[in-house]
Amino acid sequence: MLKRVLKEPLVHFLALALAIFAGYALVGAGERQERIAVTAPKIEQMATLFTKTWQRPPSAAELKGLIDDYVKEEVLVRQALALGLDRDDAVVRRRLRQKMEFLNTADAEALEPTDAELEAYLTSNADAFRIKGMLAFEQVFLSPQRHGGRAKEEAGSILQILLSDPEANRSLLGDATLLPPEAALSDSASITQTFGADFAKALDQAPVDQWIGPVVSGFGLHLVRVTERVPDRTPSLGEVRDAVAREWTNARRSELEDQQFAKLLKGYTVTIESLVGKETGR
């Protein structure tokens, strides 16, 4: 049993730590000192972090270096605080604020919302989770460069052909283009990105399964038939549970932060000087 204990890495770390402490005590003998305690859990934490970083435990020399660096940091931090170097330092103040905000809202991370709470949050924030409407369409393209000033007139003639025979061979009616003759279900943002806002708006207002046009895009003129439309809808909780839970936690965190800050603020009297009548520097 004793042999197994002696083989444990932490025992070696603690033995080395005791030797280092003894060294510090000898160096500082006879002087009035503040106490710096490098605890066993702290040493184990440093060794564990080293092991995770380098995929091996630290050697005796490396562990001593870690402890030395920790002691140096502690000494310098205490001296800096004693000299007031933390005051009016924007970086230090920002970091301290972040830590306090983390402490004030840490409880929110441990909260597990019930289905009823998530359902209520989804109902209250339906627009944030709404699934956008989509539509699919077919199009016949006419190039302004090829048809010139007759483009709209010729588009009107082709539209009459399509209205009288919706299944006419579209490849024989329009001009060659890299644009797809058929577009799968897409939302308005995707259609706008490809064809432009006016084109997308025209499709949103178009009836299903009826040729319309000509509709103008940045490419030219199009005769368009919407083949399928899926309207906007609010999803069920099962479809967006993870997203709702994440936003619920964020909202709860913000709420707790406001509550904790309100409690802290009660311990302070805040005065704000007016700038009226004060001279400003040039």
Residues 118-138: tens digit of each pLDDT: 999 999 999 899 988 999 999
Reply yes or no on whether the pLDDT at 197 is more than 50. Answer: yes
Domain 132-230 class in CATH: alpha beta
10 Å CB burial of residue 133 (0-12, 13-18, 19+) is: middle
Q: Which residues are CB-contacts of 215 (< 8 A; sequence separation ≥ 6)?
A: 198, 199, 202, 203, 221, 222, 223, 224
Q: What's the rounded mean pLDDT across residues 45-70?
A: 92
Answer yes or no: is pLDDT of 239 > 60: yes
The pLDDT value given to residue 154:
87
pLDDT over 80 (residue 231)? yes
| Residue with the two structure tokens 């870690």 | 66
At 185 the pLDDT is 93
Taking CA atoms, 58 is separated from 23, 68, 227, in Å, by 20, 14, 67
Provide the mean pLDDT of the chain: 82
pLDDT bracket for residue 49 (50, 70, 90): very high
- Please state the domain extents for the chain: 2-87, 89-128+238-266, 132-230
Q: What is the pLDDT of residue 1?
A: 44
Burial of 7 (0-12, 13-18, 19+ CB in 10 A): exposed
* Separate counts of helices (H) and strands (E) for the chain: 12, 4
